[in-house]
Structure 1
């Protein structure tokens, strides 16, 4: 028997409604008192240019004040009606629970038939109660949403055209700081204020109620649940690390789709930190749920920053060893502050730009996966960027601009992801000496790919782009199960830990491409070492052929300027650059330019190789560089 979860602080709610009625009654008195004071003021304020406006100001407040009084009264009536009806339903739920508990063990014969009939009757009554509780919440939420008086309408223009005269009042913001007034807030009590909100309204709710958003974002799916509750169904599907295996993710998806839309919405809103990042839950729903998660994590970071106390130095006593201790403490404080501020910077950007977030965590340097477009049966193109050394949550803006540079923009048939769903190396030398980052991140990347495959057609063109250390992470992900139409290595540190050929991957038939400048000394040095954390040297033993990769030209930062020849390690994703256009060509199945091979020049002393594009770059700018359709290169 499934009963509605009715856990509402009725007394506090009724007290609040009564408080609203009281304040509505006193609002008019406030206006009368203010008018009396204003009349006395008129005897002292005389200025021909402004006195008429000043004298009329209070009169112009009369209608908005009456509207605000009406809003308070309507809200009080609505909440009182909700509390009265809700108490009745709560008692009915308790009575049904007690009646169900009085049923004995399963009988046979006539007694068993009678017991079955009684159980069926209780089930029917419970189903009716579930509908009644849902209807009551929906009616109450709709009634509160209709309260729009007292927001400044009718006041003289004093703001930018179209702007509010008074601060906008959203009744969804009533939940903000409720814990300060009513004590510890039950997260389930937030549900009525969230149901029915569209994405824009969810963003507004998160901004208006950061403490409540944090309460939900931090919530875990913990504890024992009745076996037929949605929480129990999903808890069972998620058990044993199912979110990391292909079969497990398929099972999570099946379990999720078996729930009603109402139950899905309830879980997304009450457990956003769980289901907003769970493989198997549809990506569009994850993005919606994470509107709350991101707002909550922002609040977590703000609270931590507010709690950091800067060490204070006593100039009269802190000298010698004491001064050294103060400096060490101050350096630690500064590092902690910068670490938190950088994470907050990434989340602030995601909110400001309405970024679709399908996974987010504050662990380590912060982790995030973002999505452009939405997967559907019409999806034909999917491109994903896996970043390299130094990637962290604070770098979100920079990497999303890189993703944008290799994409054709949003479209009904195009899907894009930025995947920073693991901790990545930060120190070029120290962190990259160990395979720990590749081995920890590879199963997460492969699991993400399993989840994507469940939401797009099998024939969709998929491309993963691995940059720098992200190239070896991508290769390690291939080793443990990632499968894609195309793999693009961009200045890759290596083919992947324990990967030396396509045969070492679960993806041996993939089309592989590589882009690297001729002067990327950082990566050339890493590749020359070979083995260890990033796999065998990418170039040794047959060059690019080692991984079956076709090398594409890195070319120019600006294909119209001869002296913009690309070099180093940082410019591969410049908008409109040769390398970015080549990556875009692979993702979308368009034109690419092949690597311009060095040419041997014979001399009396023997000879040497020279790069034609470095020798005469002017011969390759504009449309002079030969291109080929990438589809002609594929198997």
Structure 2
């Protein structure tokens, strides 16, 4: 990284990247539109152009369309990187100019390299022990640091744009006689639905890097959403899936497309590392399928994590509205500087309602839990294998909040694999769960916890004879009940507002949840 000069910083116009991003998005939309029109005409030729020549023309058209779709996705991803870079560069440049302008306003001279001299009459001299040299050195250090941050933002932006425009691509497959060579990848992927995760993982482990990359390139939807596929491959495939979803929304121009596109762009953009390393990092999307309302994201890094938590949210959770769940997950990562990694789990649609009455009616339907629980069970197997592959003992905690408690409890019926489960203001212990014998967690040593704040309206549902969500987990034998305690300002964690605050607001309850995740026995004893 080369440190920019003060003159360069002053002359830079990061907003120009926004104009470039708009141009790339427009080019992507135009290219996609032209390709769609051309491919549609070629496809229709089947009605009047038969024979080998027509078949070859249509095959070539499919290859061209696929290449065009790749270029479209590259432009979309590059536009996201350019917008993100513009924001980072603007912030860093403003920091540089703020310090430079302050120094000059105080009578100091600022060199193009950021060195500061003079300023004998500045009030800053008194703050620096009466030494103008000390004040100048202090300002020089601040400007140099700001210029370094600007240079780092510039280098990161350049790297992200180049990476977006030059995606990893497997080399072309050589033409082989029919029946020669390995099983076609299309046949491999088609067989995944009929085999277990371990066999899928073993298949991929036996592949060459080029074959794995071809899987990502040619079958991103399956790779990005199949348990058993290594997580780095799923993450790479889902970047393709998200970019394609943006292209599809622009093509469809449906109601809400603008909002969905903005959300998808956010999934492709870099974020500040929640582990507080100071780095900007890509988001780690482990599943992305808008048609199934599926979005699973890893926050943090298994390489540094000592504990993992999987958060299953509740009623009214949607893909576009999942940002608050992500913030909740990242707080645990940030609080431990990466010693906790958290996964937000949206494995399908959740009950919804525009008002409380509608929400309660929809939440009384057990089908959401019954539909999602088997998928959560399968994902827990994938989590278990991935965590075990680190070679370290990393406990995994599943937290079911509100309706998510019923989903998690139902998953325990079907064979969830967990080291710990926490029923947090849970609607119930699971569909059909009347006592602990109804749970069939594959870990015989699983520890179960529960916590509900007094006055939480969810108590009207918990254990109700008319509720389909099972017994009240707070009253279940063998479940360790935790006290919600107080907010950090001294108020009791209680009442309707506590339903969401219990996991989001600085409080005894938040620290108790973190203690369950990390196994902090002292805090748990205090909350018990």
Task: Assess same fold via TM > 0.5.
Answer: yes
- Mark the CA change 1:536 to 1:181 in structure 2 (over 3 Å): closer, same or farther: closer
- Does 2:463 match 1:535? no
CA shift for structure 1 position 533: 2.4
Q: CA RMSD in A?
A: 4.0
Rounded Cα–Cα distance in structure 2 between residues aligned with 1:581 and 1:535: 27
Identify the match of residue 513 of structure 2 among 579, 583, 590.
Answer: 583
Partner of 2:209: 261
Q: CA contact under 8 A between 1:556 and 1:579: conserved in structure 2? A: yes
Identify the match of residue 520 of structure 1 among 437, 456, 461.
Answer: 456
CA shift for structure 1 position 501: 2.7
Q: 2:198 is paired with a residue of what secondary structure?
A: helix
The number of aligned residues is 383
Q: 2:504 is paired with a residue of what secondary structure?
A: coil
CA shift for structure 1 position 345: 4.9
- Write out aligned runs for 1:71-470 (5 A): 159-160=12-13, 167=20, 177-178=30-31, 183-184=38-39, 186=63, 188-189=66-67, 204=161, 228-232=182-186, 234-235=188-189, 237-240=191-194, 242=195, 248-304=196-252, 306=253, 308=254, 337-338=255-256, 340=257, 343-352=260-269, 353=271, 354-363=282-291, 366-375=293-302, 380-408=306-334, 414-427=340-353, 428-457=359-388, 459-470=393-404
Q: CA contact under 8 A between 2:333 and 2:340: conserved in structure 1? A: no
- Does 2:427 match 1:479? no
Rounded Cα–Cα distance in structure 1 between residues aligned with 2:494 and 2:348: 30
Long gaps (5+) in structure 1: 1-154, 213-223, 243-247, 309-336, 595-625
Q: CA contact under 8 A between 1:191 and 1:269: conserved in structure 2? A: no
Partner of 2:480: 550
Cα deviation, 1:174-219, whole Å, max 9, x if unaligned, reads 9875455663363553699799x9998997589889xx9xxxxxxx
Cα deviation, 1:523-543, whole Å, max 9, x if unaligned, reads 11111414652113445xxx2
Rounded Cα–Cα distance in structure 2 between residues aligned with 1:530 and 1:509: 30
CA shift for structure 1 position 229: 4.0
Q: 2:316 is paired with a residue of what secondary structure?
A: coil
Rounded Cα–Cα distance in structure 2 between residues aligned with 1:548 and 1:444: 26
- Mark the CA change 1:171 to 1:475 in structure 2 (over 3 Å): closer, same or farther: closer
Q: 2:291 is paired with a residue of what secondary structure?
A: coil
Q: Which has the higher contact order (CA 8 A, sep 6+)?
A: 2
Q: 1:290 is paired with a residue of what secondary structure?
A: helix
- Does 2:490 match 1:562? yes
- Mark the CA change 1:201 to 1:563 in structure 2 (over 3 Å): closer, same or farther: same
CA shift for structure 1 position 303: 3.4
CA shift for structure 1 position 520: 0.4
Q: Which deviates the most, 462-471 or 182-191?
A: 182-191
Partner of 1:76: none
Rounded Cα–Cα distance in structure 2 between residues aligned with 1:431 and 1:267: 39
Q: CA contact under 8 A between 2:308 and 2:395: conserved in structure 1? A: yes
Q: 2:468 is paired with a residue of what secondary structure?
A: helix
Rounded Cα–Cα distance in structure 1 between residues aligned with 2:505 and 2:20: 41
- Write out aligned runs for 1:42-61 (5 A): none
Rounded Cα–Cα distance in structure 2 between residues aligned with 1:470 and 1:460: 23
- Mark the CA change 1:280 to 1:172 in structure 2 (over 3 Å): closer, same or farther: farther
Rounded Cα–Cα distance in structure 2 between residues aligned with 1:532 and 1:429: 11
CA shift for structure 1 position 509: 3.1
- Mark the CA change 1:518 to 1:207 in structure 2 (over 3 Å): closer, same or farther: same
Rounded Cα–Cα distance in structure 2 between residues aligned with 1:201 and 1:272: 26
Cα deviation, 1:52-87, whole Å, max 9, x if unaligned, reads xxxxxxxxxxxxxxxxxxxxxxxxxxxxxxxxxxxx
- Does 2:451 match 1:493? no
Identify the match of residue 502 of structure 2 among 558, 562, 572.
Answer: 572
CA shift for structure 1 position 370: 0.4
Cα deviation, 1:389-421, whole Å, max 9, x if unaligned, reads 111112221111111233455767643200011
Cα deviation, 1:227-255, whole Å, max 9, x if unaligned, reads 82451452254133x4xxxxx11111111
Q: CA contact under 8 A between 1:530 and 1:538: conserved in structure 2? A: no
Rounded Cα–Cα distance in structure 2 between residues aligned with 1:370 and 1:478: 21
- Mark the CA change 1:161 to 1:444 in structure 2 (over 3 Å): closer, same or farther: closer
- Mark the CA change 1:473 to 1:444 in structure 2 (over 3 Å): closer, same or farther: same
Q: 1:563 is paired with a residue of what secondary structure?
A: coil
Rounded Cα–Cα distance in structure 2 between residues aligned with 1:567 and 1:373: 32
Long gaps (5+) in structure 2: 1-7, 40-61, 82-156, 168-177, 272-281, 354-358
Q: CA contact under 8 A between 2:373 and 2:411: conserved in structure 1? A: yes
CA shift for structure 1 position 433: 2.1
